[in-house]
Structure formats: C-alpha cells, structure tokens
Amino acid sequence: MAEVAEPLWREVLGRQLRELRLDRGEKLTETAGRAGISPQYLSEVERGRKEPSSEMIAALAGAFGLTLIDLTTMVADDLRQHAVIELTFAGSRARAERRDGVHGRALRRPSGPVARLAVAA
C-alpha cells in the first residue's frame, strides 16, 4: 500500500479558505477585494501554491469576519483530523501486514509436497 502523505499547512489553509468562500457563495474577486489582495493571489493561496505571510492570513481571516486564531484553529483541526485518519489507516495497515506477511501472502505453514520435502530434509 502507498503511504498517505501528510498535507502541507498551506494546502489545508487553502482548502479552508476556498470552503469559506464557497459557503458564502462569493467569487474570488469579492473575497480578494475585502482582503486587499488580487484575485490571482487568492486563487494561488486557495490551491496551496503560495505560502502567505501572517499579515496576509490575518487579512483573509478578517475578510470572512474571523480572527487569526479562528482561522488557525480551523486549519489545525483539519490537520488533526487528517492525523487521526492516518493513524487509523497505519494501524489497519500494520494489522494487515502482520496477518498477511510482508508480501501480502498469508503466513501459513507449508503443506502438501513442499511440507513433505521440508520434513524429509
């Protein structure tokens, strides 16, 4: 199984900002205008491509009527939820590996002709 990569803070921040904007039914230009930034920059932040400064994050929080701590808490809660999901996934994967062995085959004692050859040797 492939490892699930932990998301970057800027990616989670971007998802939260986009969700807030869409929940309000706003266009990029409306939210960006209130925050004092360009719609292009907001788009890049929402897509997790830009790492905004703390001043920019505070301006974006204010554009939604939130405090910096409100927005930061939302991002932290999202990251925490991801960590719980990842820990659950990792625990399930570890149990499956113990059950199935490293290569995905069940850990069984050989039987049939292979077992008879092993005993005879």
Task: Read off the CATH number of the domain in which 115 is found.
Answer: 1.10.260.40
Asked if the structure places residue 2 within a domain, the reply is: no
Asked if the structure places residue 49 within a domain, the reply is: yes
Asked if the structure places residue 112 within a domain, the reply is: yes
User: Rounded distance, CA 96 to CA 81, Å?
Assistant: 23
Q: For position 32, what pLDDT does the model report? A: 98
Asked if the structure places residue 3 within a domain, the reply is: no
Q: For position 93, what pLDDT does the model report? A: 60
Q: For position 65, what pLDDT does the model report? A: 97
Asked if the structure places residue 83 within a domain, the reply is: yes
- Count of domains observed in the chain: 1
Cβ atoms of 27 and 38 within 8 Å: the answer is: no
User: Rounded distance, CA 89 to CA 96, Å?
Assistant: 10
Asked if the structure places residue 68 within a domain, the reply is: yes
Q: Which domain holds residue 105?
A: 9-120
Q: For position 85, what pLDDT does the model report? A: 65
User: Rounded distance, CA 12 to CA 45, Å?
Assistant: 10
Q: For position 90, what pLDDT does the model report? A: 56
Asked if the structure places residue 43 within a domain, the reply is: yes
How do the pLDDT tens digits run along the chain, 121 residues long? 456 678 999 999 999 999 999 999 999 999 999 999 999 999 999 999 999 999 999 999 999 999 999 999 999 999 998 877 655 655 556 566 666 665 544 444 445 544 444 444 4
User: Rounded distance, CA 115 to CA 13, Å?
Assistant: 57
Asked if the structure places residue 1 within a domain, the reply is: no
Strand, coil or helix: what is 88?
Answer: helix
